[in-house]
Structure formats: structure tokens, C-alpha cells
Structure 1
């Protein structure tokens, strides 16, 4: 009787232990442990599926990619789950000031020591850590690094014997030549956030230090230097160098058809051009970096890097840390590059010469790499700027310049007075 009772107690304890373990560790159908990875980069699913297989072979943990096509839904899903055990072990986010709130909430892991012990030795550029720092600690690691530049239609350039500009004056002359041939020089995207793209690039072309001072609240948006840059942009708009802003796919079609000769975009645009329109890198399209307005200054390449953060309260936290250590293996990064045509680790072949070239430029001493405006300054300033800058684009007048800069400066003063 005692043996039967003892056996029942042991069985009950084993069932209870198994149930408790199940609450803390998720398992896949194969019996392996899994880590949920929330992301707003839905196109990355195939790449992460392959990466998951490689990591699982090494450490027996699988990555469950959960993609969100709607940015707002993604943000809500992440923010509502943070601080809870059922939050995703890993998720992508935004760098710079956009990371500050969740870092200061205490809901994501400090990865400073992981950078020193794992990521940097694996070949991750230590300079990228600056984009994920809050109060001196590093709260993210790069999922991707995208470099912005000016795409140009090579067929148009060859037809009219045009060359990639080496100075800013040559760039303006190029735009004028295209206009004289009844070709709109530059395509624009009408997404709500996209108005800052030419603002940041022109500011940095004028003076990189001006850009840094501006995003850090050290100089006024109403400073005469900023006004001068806006007047340059105003002249470009008045001269018809920019097409009417359109949605992303329409702009890609305009570029592919030669209706616009150039457009400013990130590395991901190559995949769009090749898969949707059949263009080939360095045959149908290529990229250049906008020259500086002063020959003594290095051209600036803006980058955006999407960090991977780890939820501190998640039951998957420990396995998420293990996965992120494996993520920067050359085989894993090559798998991502093979699928997406982009990458940032040295030694990884991108399979796209245009992307390979700009990545090498970004890592060279001939260019400055700077984090883009969207992440480089507080979100309240960005929100005010994107709205006001669109008003300027559609009404490039002197009064519009004054109103735009006054509005942004008011938000800047609020943000940096705290």
C-alpha cells in the first residue's frame, strides 16, 4: 500500500514538474525548445527560417519567426507583452531615441557584455553599438543594417552620356540636364515618414557637424545655416527636379521604366527592383552617394539599423540570448544575405554588386556613416518634422521655410528641455 501511495505521489510530482516546465519553455513539434521572434520585417521570414535550421543544428533551439505587416499592430503586440513571461524572447525594434523608452522601462536586457564577448569577436562593427546605447548601456544588437543612397537608372545615364557626379554642383547640373531631356530627375515616395530623407541628406551634404548638432538639440532649426539648406532644397523643388510624391511601388515602376532617373532609397530597394521589375544590378541600375557641398568634407552615408532586443521577463530569455550569440555566425549571416541580398559582416558575399559596393564604402575611411534622422533625434521632433516638411515640399515658399523650421524648433526645445 505504501509503495502504491509513494508511486502515486512521485507520478503527481512528475506531472506537476512537467506542467511547470511547459509554462517556462516553449517547444516545437520536433520536441526542441523554441523562441518567438516578433518582427515588422515580414519579407525576412524565409531567411530566418533557414537561419533557425542552422542555429538549431548547433544548439538545439529553434527560432519561431512571427512577422507583422502592419507596423502599428506590431508595436502594440510587443509593448503590451513586455514585462510578462509570455512576451516574445526576441523582437526587432528601432534604434536611437526610439529605443530609449523601452530600455528605460527595464523590460529589455542590457547586452553590453554580450557585445564584448560575442558580437564584436564575430565581426560585428563595434561602431554600430552607438545606435543601441541608452545611458551608456547597449540594449540591442543589429538584425540588419541598411545603407541609404541615390539609385540611378543606368540606361538613361548611358543614353545621354551622363556621369556619376563627383561634386554637389555636378549633381545639380545633372538634374538640369535630365530636365532638358524631359526626364524627371528624382522620384519621391509619399509615405508619411519619408519627408525627412532629403532634408537629412542635404543638411549632411552642407555640413555633417551641422546635422549632428541639429539632432542633438545643440543648434536651432532656425539657424541661418539650416535656412540656407532649405533654400537650396526650395530651388531644387522650384526647378522641377522632384517628381510628384507617389507610393512605393509606383515610384519603383517609374524608376524601372525610366520615367524618373534617380531616387533616394535604402539597400532593400534592390530586392524590389529585381524581383518585381526584373532589373539587374550594375547593368540596369546602380547607386552613388550624394557629394558634399564642400570638397574638404567626406560624403555622408546614412544608415538605419534594426536592433534585436531581448525581453527580460520572457520565459524564453535564456534561449534568446543563446540564439543571438549564434546569429552572427558567418554561415547564418551568409544565409540571410543569400535570401535578401543585404548584409553587414565582412566576409559575407551579398550576391548583389550594388549593395556590396555601398557596404564597402560605408566601412571605408572615405565616407562618414551616420544614423538616419528618424532614429537620431527624439520621436516628438521627428513627428513634427515629417508633417511640416511635407507642407514645405508641397509649398516650397519662403514663408513655408520659416513656418516649417519654427514648428520643428518648438518641438526641439520641448524635447531637450526635459
Structure 2
């Protein structure tokens, strides 16, 4: 659905936020390297292709350095004269570091672009090179490309990965207490009650990091409001965030409070994972992108995943999916043509398969097989019962963004500073400042 701001002034306000705020999701080059790529490309592109050049790739995925070295090595088999340095920055600092570099004419040549509004805003402002018509771009569906496509249809990035959020669980703990994957919301609460009565923390959860608020609500919420159909009504303006169905989705999050760890308001994403990895918590609402990290930290951990259960028996369980960023080219890079060669490589099945195998993640490239069984199960669930991460996909705009507003309001909810109704009202008030169906 197209969303149009009420005026050009409002659009500039939204972009100003993008250049000042640090959106959170999962990981920019160092200040010393951020000044690379400051001039327009040379006229003789063919001569450039023969010369040895060094490009820098910025990312928020600090944990993926070894894998990107393998991907780049594969790229270099065809393009040995194009050296690429993978230079990630901590995920919570990436947006600020990148945006500051871009504003001053620097930044990496190849950029891991945040999905949807955050990345598209950089493109429409002229910081990202348009790649509409890039060889291989037609590999992807329109829905996948939408994560990096501007309002006028200009494409700014090659999709990087598909993220799917569901509930991981410790199989040994479930077996110990004769528990099974819950088929309804009530069964999941009963499972949590059984775990709690046996002094096992039911959910590895913390409200310290804002992005965890929106991600978890994006996964749990559809059980309350019904999934994709209601999300489409939000996008069309037919429904509001103050609708009883959406309010119920926030109430579900509040209802889980008794099953969170002690002092959970001070627990961040890394500590959440640690609770699950060490067997202190039995369930973990998280994306497939974290499965490989969990396994690397505890190779002996036996864990599986289930979809968020529906409210009633016979209802539709859901998993939440979205595009996790794109590969883009800095419009100010002096080696844009060479950078585009890597983007073309990222559209191929060869790249997609290597990415999926090495990362244990779901590639957006069609036809790529997922080797890791748990991630394959995530992908299978997404193929049949996926619903959009609606606050990220369609409502990550405004000043502050509606996504950030939800995150802050929910943190207040868990600190008993907000009620469920106040969270919904605050979110809708923010949406009303910019959203025009």
C-alpha cells in the first residue's frame, strides 16, 4: 500500500530522524575508514575494472565476519582485482555511525541497508545509488524487493536475507516435564506455569533493548489481532492501533510478565540469549537469524521451534517474517561500478546457497535449499503461516518513528508507567502525525 506524507516538509522531517536516530534491529565502519569513497566514478569504467581497487563493506552483523570473508573469497574467483574489506559496527551503533559518515561525504562503498523506511529514506535523499535494472534483480519477487524500493519504484538494494520469528524451545526441558509444543495460547500459558512451578524460567526475555519490544510484539501480537488480514486493514487505514484487536495484542505481551526472568527490565538481547543457551530459560521468542549463534555458544543444546499459537483451538498459528536488509552502493563511492559487481553476485543462486549454508539462514534467492534443520523448519513455517512484521514494514516512519514510539511505550508498560490502552493510544497518536492512507 502506498503511504504518502502530507507535505514535502513532513518528508524531510522523517528523513532528518533517519539521520539522527539509531534504529535497532540486529549490526559501520570505523571512523578511520568511514571517509572512503568521496568522488564520482572515473569516466573510463573499463580501465577501472582492470585496476586493483579496495572497497569497504559496512554492516551491523559483527558476528558474520568469518562468513563474509568466505563470500568475498568466492566473489574474488571471478573478480580478483576487486578487494572487499568487511568492516562491521556494533548493531546498536550502526545507524548513527553510517548516517554521520554519509552526511559528511564518506561511508563504506557497499552498505548493508536497513530494511523498509529506514533504508529507503537514505535512498530517496540521494545517499544510496539507484540500482533499478541491475543484472539479476528480476530474480526477486516484488514483495521482497519492497524492503528497498522507493515510492517512485526506484530500487536501492539487493535483498540480503529473510528473517522469521517464532518460539525456540529447549527440547530436554520440555521432555523432562512431559511438555509438548502448545497448540493454543492457553496451552502455552499452561506450559509456562508448569515450568515456573518447577523453578525454570519460562521465557528468556528482557525489556532493556527497544528493538526486542517491537520484535517480540510483532511475533506475539498476531495471535491477538489475527495476523495478515488485520495488518492489511492497518495499512489501508480501515483499522487503527486503538482497535480492540490490536489492544488485545499488547495485553498478551503484558500477560506474559509472570513468566519472565527476575529483573527482566534490565535484561538486554545478549543476556536473553544467554539464559536460553545455558538452559536457565525454556522458551525464547526470536528469529531464525539467532539459531546459529545459539548453536555456536552451546553445540550440545537440543532445541526446536514452534509457531506462536492461536487464541482458540483450530485457529491459525503464525510466524512473523520480514526482509533483513539489503546490499546497497554508496552514491558517493568512487568505485560504484565495482561495488555493483558484488551486488550482481548477490543475486545469484551460487551466492544465495553459500550464504544460506554458511550463515544457516534463509536466503531470499529463489531455489536455495536450507541445510540446517531448525532453520529449514522456520522456512517451512513461513511458507504456510507467515504474517508481516507490520510495525517495521509499514509504520517505521514519523518523528520519532511509530516503531520507536511503540518500543518506548512498551518499555514503560513493563515499568508500570503505562497501561495497555495508553500504549495503543500513544502509538496511534504518533501514527496520525504522518500516516495518510
- TM bin, normalised by shorter chain, reads 0.7 to 0.9
Q: Which one of 147, 166, 169 corresponds to residue 131 of structure 1? A: 147
Uncovered stretches (5+) of structure 1, i.e. residues with no partner? 1-19
Q: Please, what TM-score do these two structures have when normalized by structure 1?
A: 0.81
Match of 1:183 in 2: 200
In the alignment, the residues of structure 1 paired with residue 252 and residue 322 of structure 2 have an alpha-carbon distance, to the nearest angstrom, of: 23
Name the CA shift for 1:218/1:103 in 2 (closer, same or farther; >3 Å).
farther
Q: Which one of 263, 266, 269 corresponds to residue 284 of structure 2? A: 263
Report SS of the residue matched to 1:378.
coil
Match of 2:163 in 1: 146
Match of 1:6 in 2: none
Q: Which one of 369, 378, 381 corresponds to residue 396 of structure 2? A: 378
Q: Which one of 183, 208, 225 corresponds to residue 245 of structure 2? A: 225
Residue 187 of structure 2 is aligned to residue 170 of structure 1: yes
Q: Please, what TM-score do these two structures have when normalized by structure 2?
A: 0.78
Match of 2:63 in 1: 43
**1:248 to partner: Cα distance:** 2.9
Name the CA shift for 1:226/1:26 in 2 (closer, same or farther; >3 Å).
farther
Name the CA shift for 1:216/1:132 in 2 (closer, same or farther; >3 Å).
farther
**1:53 to partner: Cα distance:** 1.8
Residue 175 of structure 2 is aligned to residue 158 of structure 1: yes
Name the CA shift for 1:167/1:152 in 2 (closer, same or farther; >3 Å).
same
Aligned Cα root-mean-square deviation (Å): 3.1
Query: 1:319-346: per-residue Cα shift (whole Å, max 9, x none)?
Result: 1112111123333333333432223245
Residue 422 of structure 2 is aligned to residue 406 of structure 1: no
**1:388 to partner: Cα distance:** 0.7
Contact 1:215 1:373 in 2 (8 A): no
Q: Which structure has the greater CA radius of gyration?
A: 1
Report SS of the residue matched to 1:264.
strand
Residue-pair matches, total: 384
Contact 2:147 2:325 in 1 (8 A): no
Once the two structures are superposed, the pairs formed by residues 68-83 of structure 1 within 5 Å of their partners are 68-69=89-90, 71-72=92-93, 75-81=96-102
In the alignment, the residues of structure 2 paired with residue 301 and residue 234 of structure 1 have an alpha-carbon distance, to the nearest angstrom, of: 19
Uncovered stretches (5+) of structure 2, i.e. residues with no partner? 1-40
Report SS of the residue matched to 2:288.
coil
In the alignment, the residues of structure 1 paired with residue 51 and residue 189 of structure 2 have an alpha-carbon distance, to the nearest angstrom, of: 61
In the alignment, the residues of structure 2 paired with residue 336 and residue 132 of structure 1 have an alpha-carbon distance, to the nearest angstrom, of: 20
Contact 1:37 1:91 in 2 (8 A): yes
Report SS of the residue matched to 1:416.
coil
Name the CA shift for 1:62/1:218 in 2 (closer, same or farther; >3 Å).
farther
Q: Which one of 386, 394, 402 corresponds to residue 368 of structure 1? A: 386
Report SS of the residue matched to 1:100.
helix
Match of 1:326 in 2: 345
